[in-house]
Structure 1
Amino acid sequence: MSGWAQGGVRKFRICLSVVILAGFLLWAPAVQALSEDQQLVVDAWSFVNQSYVDPTFEGIPWRRLRQRALEQPIPSRESAYEAIETMLAPLGDPFTCFLRPEQFKALTDSTAGSISGVGLQLGINEGETVVQVISSLDGSPAAAAEIQPGSVVLAVEGDSVEDLGLEGVAAALRGPSGTVVDIELVAPDGERQSLSLERRTVDLRPVRSRRLREDGHTYGLLQIRQFTTKVPELVSTALAELQNKCVEGLILDLRNNPGGLVSSGLKVGNSLLDAQPLVSIRDRNGIVDTIITDAGELYDGPIVVLVNSGTASASEILAGALQDDGRAEVLGRPTFGKGLIQTLIPLSDGSGLTVTVARYVTPAGNDIQSVGIMPNQVLAALTQETPEDDSQDPWLERAMVALQNQFHRHDKHIERTAMT
């Protein structure tokens, strides 16, 4: 009996414990569902957490930043936007940032080939807050005002660059065609400028080509102003047209090309390299993926590349590959130095993120971040970075001379081969 009784007591205690535990579960407070605005913050955090190039987040308490953001009241969409911006700020990465719906749309529109604004391409060096002009788009209000590459933006509509940040400056300069925006900047020579520019729709016209003749030779000039979705197709068409005109050499003009879609830049490189390394990309896990171009080229003749301080990102990838692979000689000035790759991530309400997802090095292993590509021939800086009249562009003259030298070296190589 005592054994049965003790067993019964044990069973009773177990049952009682289960009932008590169940009571706690039944009376536990329900988990509160996130509001749409809170969910937007969580989604933004999750995308960056999954994608950012440095999974350690450089010692920043990344998970704690998410918790802090949700601990604060988020009663509106604007407060959600501010919470996301506050969350991203400690990263110190000017290229990983939040874009409001109008900003995100403007950026995606620019990759398609058109913008409504003043036509300034802007950049910022890693670890700095100074927003610099990379280039002014041809035919834009900025070009008409002769804003020079290297100019430093101080304020837009009275708001300082320190308060706006890179994307804030870009967003403030965009707007409906016909509206006016005030901008303050310092030119490369130190002159302070206050300008009022009328915004308008600017067709990027990312690819332009024409034939040049000099000393009995015929050259092709291929200018790429930005890598948009249509650029690879436009470049293929341009190369075919130039070859139909029997050009002997190609001048690839990447001056003031701030980059754009890396994928488009890689496709152009695939047209000019024959089964050669194009770029090595290192992702957040330290995995290096070396991209090799396909066999065959759309153009296999001599090439000279023109670059300057406005040449950045995807255009640096292309110039660096052509230089390292011995495919082209690079002339001009040291490039901007952007060796980071970003991706665009849309959020549920039309806003979005740009997130740094990888670093890249050239085929020779050169990391150009904040350094740039050094030309084979460094040319004297121009007072006007891209003269509209070819006859006023001494860099084109130097490029044609460089191509002629390539012709002579090629002829001598053929003679030596024939003699042996």
Structure 2
Amino acid sequence: MKKLRETQITLGTALALCLMACAAGIACCYAAFGWRTQAVQNKLREIDAIAAEHYVGAFDAETVADYAAVGYITGLGDQWSGYIPADQYESYQMNTEGKGCGIGVSVVTSGQGIRISLVYDASPAQQVGIRKGDWIVGAEGLTVKADGADAVIGAIQGEEGTEVTVTVRSGEDGRTRDETMTRAVVVQKMAWGEMLADRIGYIRIENFHVGAAEQFQNALDELIADGARALVLDVRHNGGGRVKEMSEMLDPLLPEGTIMTLRTKDGHETVYSSDAEMTDLPVAVLVDEQSISAAEFFAAALQEYGRGPLVGAHTTGKGRAQQTFRLSDGSAVNLSVEQYYTPEGNSLAGVGVAPDVSVGLKEAQQADFYFLIPENDPQLQKACELLT
């Protein structure tokens, strides 16, 4: 595969509840918009002067600066661009690199509480026997019932090497226990496989963060070695990731040709391509309304090359790539800087990808998505049927 520079196409960054960007950081953004610079500066200076003279309350300048940054980025009218406060940048960056600091789990929150949807390999949680489907009841003296899910999740987060005590209820027998773990930097579980009935290999792709391609290749190799005769690739509920990782995953699945084209504001193009070496196993791809960004282009490429049917629901429709720019105070802006196109030159912006076979999930199945077994997953069952 032809390897080019990395471009991040993650789902827009978390818009923190902040309002006014520091002058130095904002000035860098202003410069990129030419004639708008003076108008924005004048507006902020005028508001600042009025507040300084008349506002009777106390305020924190850094908080006001953060909120202004959010306002500026929001004013661009691009849902995929965002602002990252300085105190959130490290965890944001770690996440895009396929890592995280904590006990090594992904969770789903609902009215029923906090349920563990993934346990990462070699993580503190795995080492003490925490499993997918278990419930987090509390942590560090806080409980979900009394203090809320957000407070408990916040208590679990912390610095590497520090201890945290988490109260866990087993998803199997309902027993509750306390587990004390040492927080650690762990690698996310991003792609893994299993053999289904009739020798159909299934690979779940959670995201396309750094390291996902290696995990995907390992899963693919193991399934082929175990005698898989067909593949189901699942990018449902996948929020995206990096173009490089996505391209490396597609390379063994596609013939020689273009995978994706990215185009900047000045018309410069970056092209990712695959080589001629590929597996000839039949393929089906699962997509849904929460297949976003790289997940959509992954599915679109396989569809346009005729590698197999797309099964599920229509995808989101994101067609822009973002780049993160660090500001002088440690915060950052994540801006859409490129349009991207499918192998056939199509933009998915506002359009998305339509499945070849539409199959929906019932409301209860959608709510329980991460815990569906193959027999209770109609989208997966249809994909397997098409490969039989």
TM normalised by structure 2 equals 0.66
Change (3 A) 1:263 1:45: farther
Q: Give the Å deviation of 1:337.
A: 1.4
Alignment of structure 1 residues 402-417 onto 2, 5 Å: 402-404=386-388
Change (3 A) 1:66 1:98: farther
2:262–2:270 Cα contact (<8 Å) kept: yes
- Structure 2 counterpart of 1:151: none
Change (3 A) 1:281 1:313: same
Alignment of structure 1 residues 203-282 onto 2, 5 Å: 204-214=188-198, 218-282=199-263
Matched, 1:92 2:77: yes
2:234–2:286 Cα contact (<8 Å) kept: yes
Matched, 1:114 2:96: no
2:262–2:340 Cα contact (<8 Å) kept: yes
Alignment of structure 1 residues 281-296 onto 2, 5 Å: 281-296=262-277
- Structure 1 counterpart of 2:5: none
- Structure 1 counterpart of 2:156: 177
1:115–1:204 Cα contact (<8 Å) kept: no
1:153-203 CA-partner distances (Å, limit 9, x unpaired): xxxx99xxxxxxxxxxxx999734179xxxxxxxxxxxxxxxxxxxx9997
- Structure 1 counterpart of 2:128: none
Q: Give the Å deviation of 1:359.
A: 1.6
1:32-87 CA-partner distances (Å, limit 9, x unpaired): xxxxxx9953344425754xxxx68xxx8244214544664699433432343343
Equivalent residue of 2:383, what SS? helix
- Structure 1 counterpart of 2:281: 301
- Structure 2 counterpart of 1:138: 117
Matches of 1:203 and 1:226 in 2, distance apart? 13
Equivalent residue of 1:138, what SS? strand
Q: Give the Å deviation of 1:262.
A: 2.9
Matches of 1:267 and 1:282 in 2, distance apart? 20
Superposed CA RMSD: 3.7
Corresponding letter in the other structure for 2:266: N
Matched, 1:352 2:352: no
Corresponding letter in the other structure for 2:212: V
Identity score, percent = 26
Q: For structure 1, which segment, 349-358 or 311-320, has the greater mean C-alpha deviation from structure 2 after superposition?
A: 349-358
Change (3 A) 1:348 1:361: same
1:362-400 CA-partner distances (Å, limit 9, x unpaired): 223332222210011111334414353112122222112
2:320–2:336 Cα contact (<8 Å) kept: yes
1:266-305 CA-partner distances (Å, limit 9, x unpaired): 22122322222212222111334443223323x3321110
Unmatched 5+ stretches in structure 1: 1-37, 122-135, 146-156, 159-170, 180-199, 405-420
Corresponding letter in the other structure for 2:281: G
Q: Give the Å deviation of 1:93.
A: 1.9
2:21–2:69 Cα contact (<8 Å) kept: no
Equivalent residue of 2:69, what SS? helix
User: Which residue of the other structure, out of 365, 383, 392, is the alignment partner of 2:376?
Assistant: 392
User: Which residue of the other structure, out of 20, 24, 34, is the alignment partner of 1:42?
Assistant: 24
Alignment of structure 1 residues 4-23 onto 2, 5 Å: none
Structure index of larger Rg: 1
1:198-231 CA-partner distances (Å, limit 9, x unpaired): xx999742112111123xxx11101001111110
Matches of 1:394 and 1:233 in 2, distance apart? 29
Matches of 1:341 and 1:65 in 2, distance apart? 25
Unmatched 5+ stretches in structure 2: 1-19, 53-59, 110-114, 120-132, 136-146, 159-182
Matches of 2:244 and 2:76 in 1, distance apart? 26
Structure with the greater relative contact order (CA < 8 A, sep ≥ 6): 1 or 2? Answer: 2
1:283–1:357 Cα contact (<8 Å) kept: yes
Q: How many residues align?
A: 299
2:106–2:117 Cα contact (<8 Å) kept: no
